Amino acid sequence: MAQKIVATHLVVKAMRDNGYKNAAYALAELIDNSIQAGASEIKLVCIEDSNNGRRNLSEIAVIDNGNGMDKDTLELSLGFGNGTHLTAENQDGIGKFGMGLPNSSISQCKKVEVYTWQNNGDVLYSYLDLDEITNNGLEEVPEPAQKNVPNEFKEYINGESGTLVLWSKIDRCMWKTAKSIFKHSEFIIGRMYRYFIQDNAVSIEMIAKTENGQLSLSNTGNNNFKANDPIYLMNKTSCPKPFENNAMFKKWEGEGYEIKFKVNHNNSQHEVSIKFTYAKEDSRDVKKYGNAGSAPHGKHAQQNVGVSIVRANRELDLDTKWTIQHDVTERWWGVEVNFPPSLDDVFGVANNKQSARNFTADLANMNEGIYEGQTLLEYKDELRADKDPTEVLIEIAEKVDSIIGQMRKAIKLQTKNTRPDRNIVTAEEIATNATDKLKSEGNIGKSDKGESLSNQDKMSQIADGLDEAGIENAKEIAASIVDDDLKYIIKDGDIDGDAFFSVLPKGGKIMIILNINHPVYPKLIELLEKDDKQGGNAFDALKLLMMAWARYEDQQPDGEQKDRTQEARADWGRMAKRFLNNQE
């Protein structure tokens, strides 16, 4: 018997670790397919089950009103490396690699089912089940057959054609409830598809269902994803007041708001567009906001720091490597690099569409130093002689870096001659100073031992802690805080357990993760944070109380005494949950 080169079940198992950052990026692959199929409505339907009083995701469905698929296309869609947009002449939209549906699905679940229909015809069905591949030797996509759409999803079907992709046996999704998926995905998906949402080309809605009916996922009751524009020129976006309906940034006046580059590749000329924006003076007005970075719109901008890499009007990545990690004013400029799918090879687009690996900040910092044994000039001459299209990436990167430098100077001038109404000292600074005093008095905590680690080890530990809590961009956040003098980090996290916050001593820091699934979060923390526009008073007082507890817990000796302290925090959270859930 002929020996197979690879074992199917081992290959598929390896593909599960395919680098999707989280469920939002995995779902984006399915949204890409829907948009490519001409859908104008996309619904993400989350089904929650109750288990021992705890709600958990059991299924996630993506339903669209696109063109649907015939039998052959359905079979191709469930195979790895197959698809209808693999050839150059068909690469004019956001699809391409033929890996999206199966690759993204198995990164989050063990079973994916597809129902699809055209022109009000019969519904065709097929699936992939990792348990069948592993245990039963399934090696081919099951032949599509007729099957009705499950009853719980029928009410969300709108159109004579469409597709439903259903995830079940969910075992790798870090977010355990529909609300946590919506909270984390709203920002990312809104940014990825901002042009489609802004142009009303597509609406993307998330729906949560339990045995008792639908759940509300947002404070407004509107579960549609809003556009999130990291260069802040769009109107009607997810940016908070007073910039939810008008642009918070303005176009860069220097060399021009939009610069275009022509790239020769595959005997054709293609265009790359780079846009530059920076904050309006009004958005940073000291008299209005004090520290504008602590205002809601400033906190929104903090999550959009970096260069937005966009392919066919769909964002691949928000690259933070272009930023100065420790400079809080980096949030006040925006850059977008937009290129067509025909330049995927030039930019080095990964098959999970989460990055353009050839276009990096490092290209702008080569200068006249040695690159692979050559000066930059010699290296460029060699690329030019070989007609290598990546030469233009160096030119683009240098231009991006140069204009970012100019915008930084303009941003500093905006507030050079202004002073806040009061000196703002953060709760984290107050707690750090108090902790330093405790240490000087001989009160040593477990976290203090980590202060002697190398920066690399500190960064690794901090990133691991943030990642465990389901926090976006854990490595970038860790890199930005590893060198600062603050002892405490407070972040929102999607964590299990009854406590309304967790305490993690990592890398010489004490991380406090606020449990977004606990009723204390929406009923107290969010309200105080929303009202606390000047960065002080009530919300800071609450943070100081939590940091005081965290330090108390950190100083307990390992063993029974520390266990009792941690149990007390969980008991307190359980009691608070009972009281708050009974609140009318």
- DSSP calls for 99-152: -HHHHHHHTTEEEEEEEEESTT-PPEEEEEEHHHHHHH---SPPPPEE-PPPHH
**How many whole angstroms separate alpha carbon 324 and alpha carbon 335?**
14
Measured CA to CA, the distance from residue 159 to residue 423 in angstroms comes to 58
Q: 205-228 burial by CB neighbour count: b if 16+ within 10 A, else e?
A: bbbbbeeeeebebeeeeebebbbb
**What b-and-e string marks burial along 2-32, b requiring 16 or more CB atoms within 10 Å of the CB?**
eeeeeeebeebeeebeeebbbbbbbbbbbbb
User: What single-letter DSSP state applies at residue 165?
Assistant: E
Ramachandran sector of residue 537 (left: φ over 0; alpha: ψ -120 to 50; beta: rest): left
CA-derived radius of gyration, the chain: 26
Give the separation between CA 398 and CA 472, rounded to whole angstroms: 28
- Kindly report, residue by residue over 136-176, the tens digit of the pLDDT: 777 788 999 999 999 999 999 998 999 999 999 999 888 88
| pTM of the shown model | 0.72
Among candidates 424, 448, 451, which has minimal Cα distance to 438? 448
Rounded distance between C-alpha atoms, residue 468 and residue 364, angstroms: 34
The token pair at 172 is: 């790798």
* Residue 57 β-bridge partners: 48
- Counting as low any pLDDT under 50, the low residues of the chain are 1-6, 83-87, 90, 97-98, 368, 419-423, 533-536, 584
Helix (H) or strand (E) segment spanning residue 117: strand 109-117
Q: Which helix (H) or strand (E) segment is 581 a member of?
A: helix 560-581
Note the pLDDT of residue 534.
46
The per-residue pLDDT for 3 is 45
18-58 confidence digits (pLDDT tens): 668 888 999 999 999 999 999 999 999 999 887 766 778 89
Q: For residues 32 and 98, is the Cβ–Cβ distance under 8 A?
A: no
Tokens of 392: 């233009």
Element housing 438 (H / E): helix 427-440
Computed over every residue of the chain, the mean pLDDT equals 86
- Cβ-count burial of 452 within 10 angstroms (0-12 exposed, 13-18 middle, 19+ buried)? exposed
Q: Which of 529, 527, 565 is nearest to 549 (CA)?
A: 565
What kind and span of H or E run contains 12?
helix 8-15
